Structure 1
Amino acid sequence: MENILVTGGAGFIGSSFVKLMLDLHPDYKIINIDVLTYAGNLETLKTVSDNPNYIFIKVDIRDREKVDEIFSTYKIDTVVNFAAESHVDRSIEEPEIFLSTNVIGTQVLLDVAKKHWKVNPEDKYCREYKSGVKFLQVSTDEVYGSLGKTGMFVETMSLMPNSPYSASKASADMVVRAYHETFGMPINITRCSNNYGPYQFPEKLIPLMINSCLKEKKLPVYGDGMQIRDWLHVSDHCTGIDTVLHKGRDGEIYNIGGNNEKANIEIVKLIIKTLGKSENLITYVKDRPGHDRRYAIDNTKITTELGWNPKYNFDQGMKDTLSWYLNNTEWIENIVSGDYTKYYEKMYANSSEKNNEIDNQK
């Protein structure tokens, strides 16, 4: 493992992983490709931009020719695939782009990897690969569907996605698994719970609420706000991926969870209290279609088999996250503009609030 292709490495989790890998493994070369959609931001990678072992290339993972060229040029031996359209609300509005990027894009990466890694790529019966190669697919607990009041997601559960986003991720997971079963490709799949931490794009719950609180804007909460998620600090997620990359058994799936089940409304009220704002800012909006009620990850497999454990408890993680956003308001201002403003208005603002919100964004 020497030349790692990180796809979607300008996104929230991908950029955190790039920085971690350059720190933990200074002898590795990291080639980061990202198409730089609204959620991709090279500002998050400023601290490593001059690192001689880091290369950024603007590429869409669906561009087979470019991806093939990158494999040839940089002798890629490992792929960590973060690249994905990832927000459920957006997938409800525009499902086609999710299927195209998340499924077809993953298949393009797998095809190119197979071509370059197989000992005899012309022989369809050949299942022998070059030493040390691996394709790691970064997925989500949302592929499992929704839980009741009890129980947890385990790796052997059937996939029952309930949104276009989670359906596209489940489809990609199955394609990755099929390349392992049919072609013998060395793979792992990781499925994480909800991430939080610095540099997260403010369409997600925690940065959305922090930013809205700071601007004294209404805080849109879906339904009754009692949707429960297992929260995982992005740093813990990235160390989990690194652990699977180096220790994971070929063909295995590993859940990465933070052991922090919290209701959405509980998190919103914590942010309000910490920032000294009023709960009158909370506005309950119509629940999204097919909104999963509860997620909870059983991470026993990765903790017992590979020795990984999350380091952040939720209280400390949230304290650090809130502190980062308060100390980096300029970063937020640069992000919350253009496409995001239009998106926020479309998804959350009622017609009577739109003009005020647009003025506040200027």
Structure 2
Amino acid sequence: MVRLLVTGGAGFIGANFVAYVLQSHSEVEITILDKLTYAGNRNSIAKLLGSRVKLVVGDICDGPLVAKLVCQTDMIVHFAAESHNDNSLSNPWPFIQTNIVGTYTLIQAATKYHKRFHHISTDEVYGDLPLPGNDVKFTTTSPYQPSSPYSASKASSDMLVRAWIRSFGLQATISNCSNNYGPYQYIEKFIPRQITNILSGRRPKLYGSGNNVRDWIHVNDHSVAIWDILTKGRIGETYLIGANGEMSNKAVLEMILRLMGKSQDAYDIVKDRPGHDLRYAIDATKLRDDLGWQPRYTDFQSGLQATINWYSDHQDWWQADKNKVEASYARKNQ
């Protein structure tokens, strides 16, 4: 058996990755290390726990705990992070602590015990691109230009991993992925927030003009890409993950409204986010050519409909937090 440690495995992308590995790779035993903060939900993984999956509730900044778990594993996939831009603008400190200090703690242990390490990052470390009308996309040679405390903390963690690869021989890879969507995403994020607003009788909200463009990828395609990088990627390399899914926030919101039987203008414009990046777009040529990865969920509308159906069918998963999330946005006029 291959022993895999997954940090942040009760979060959105981590939980979906654990489900994918459990279903597709019978030779793998998984330990999830998750602090179970507001975005880490035990219910997202409850049905996965068993003989091949166990949960350890703990903090990636806890050096002795991390060392103990890393010593007992073969490979680490590091998802655990504070990830919501709006929260980083209100209180940057948890992002510094978790995303930088937590990553340092993990790579120290991975280096000491000679373990394979894969670091999950974001396209947001590259800043933003001009709006559509050109073919410029992020590549592995794009300069880092983070715009928020969140993206700056992720950029910092990437640089730590790169330095430990070069200076200490850490056996690691990095991936920077575009915006994910799918089941189990916390309702503060753009797509689930709009879906759950409609389901709970609230009007959806759109920042500013809504012309900001994101490059959407289904979380299941991301999971497959991570496994391919973990098992076939070259040590020391960075791979960008994207599925050519560029759409403006306004277009995504109007599609959600239409798919849910509402008027496409039935939303409110709210105050824009400070430093809001204009556009993200990923060039995943290296991942496709070197490792043979291809996205399967290339029809965004059908993937979005399936996501709408999931939130509609699993209202018990999100309803308890809905009022709190919207109250937080209301305090910021968003």
Cα distance per residue 1:183-212 (max 9 Å; x no partner)? 111110001000000111111111000011
Distance 2:252 2:329 in 1: 20
Q: Which residue of 1 aligns with 2:18?
A: 18
Q: Match of 1:238, SS? A: helix
Q: Which residue of 1 aligns with 2:294?
A: 309
What's the CA shift for 1:85?
0.1
Q: Structure 1-normalised TM-score?
A: 0.88
Q: Which residue of 2 aligns with 1:89?
A: 86
Contact (CA 8 Å) 2:111, 2:171: kept in 1 or not?
no
What's the CA shift for 1:328?
1.6
What's the CA shift for 1:332?
2.1
What's the CA shift for 1:330?
2.1
Contact (CA 8 Å) 1:216, 1:281: kept in 2 or not?
no
- The letter for the 2-side match of 1:99 is I
Q: Which residue of 1 aligns with 2:62?
A: 63
What's the CA shift for 1:337?
5.1
Within 5 Å, give how 1:230-249 maps onto structure 2: 230-249=215-234
Q: Match of 2:117, SS? A: strand
Q: Match of 2:47, SS? A: helix
Distance 1:208 1:247 in 2: 36
**Higher radius of gyration, 1 or 2:** 1
Q: Match of 1:281, SS? A: coil
Q: Which residue of 2 aligns with 1:331?
A: 317
Contact (CA 8 Å) 2:213, 2:248: kept in 1 or not?
yes
1:221 corresponds to 2:206:
yes
Within 5 Å, give how 1:1-362 maps onto structure 2: 2-50=2-50, 52-72=51-71, 75-117=72-114, 133-149=115-131, 150=134, 151-313=136-298, 314-336=300-322, 338=324, 340-348=325-333
Q: Structure 2-normalised TM-score?
A: 0.95
Q: Which runs of 4+ in 1 moved over 4 A?
A: none
Distance 1:69 1:337 in 2: 39
Q: Match of 1:267, SS? A: helix
What's the CA shift for 1:342?
4.0
Distance 2:24 2:261 in 1: 38
Q: Match of 1:15, SS? A: helix
Distance 1:341 1:34 in 2: 25
Distance 1:222 1:315 in 2: 22
Aligned-residue sequence identity (percent) comes to 44
Residue range with higher mean Cα deviation, 158-167 or 321-330: 321-330
What's the CA shift for 1:134?
1.2
What's the CA shift for 1:218?
2.5
Distance 2:327 2:95 in 1: 19
- The letter for the 2-side match of 1:144 is Y
Cα distance per residue 1:111-137 (max 9 Å; x no partner)? 1111222xxxxxxxxxxxxxxx31100
- The letter for the 2-side match of 1:320 is A
Unaligned 5+ residue runs, structure 1?
118-132, 350-362
What's the CA shift for 1:346?
2.6
Distance 1:190 1:242 in 2: 11
- The letter for the 2-side match of 1:84 is A
Distance 2:67 2:328 in 1: 34
- The letter for the 2-side match of 1:249 is R
What's the CA shift for 1:280?
4.8
Q: Say if 1:317 and 1:280 are closer, same or farther in 2 by CA, change over 3 A.
A: closer
* Alignment RMSD (CA, Å): 1.4
What's the CA shift for 1:273?
1.0
Contact (CA 8 Å) 2:255, 2:264: kept in 1 or not?
no
Cα distance per residue 1:269-291 (max 9 Å; x no partner)? 11111111234531111211110
- The letter for the 2-side match of 1:323 is N
Distance 1:13 1:243 in 2: 16
Q: Match of 2:15, SS? A: helix
Q: Match of 1:80, SS? A: strand
Distance 1:107 1:65 in 2: 13
- The letter for the 2-side match of 1:305 is D
Distance 1:71 1:155 in 2: 28
Contact (CA 8 Å) 2:207, 2:270: kept in 1 or not?
yes
Contact (CA 8 Å) 1:29, 1:54: kept in 2 or not?
yes
Contact (CA 8 Å) 2:10, 2:41: kept in 1 or not?
yes
Contact (CA 8 Å) 1:95, 1:165: kept in 2 or not?
yes
Tell me the number of residue pairs that the alignment of Structure 1 and Structure 2 aligns. Answer: 330
- The letter for the 2-side match of 1:67 is V
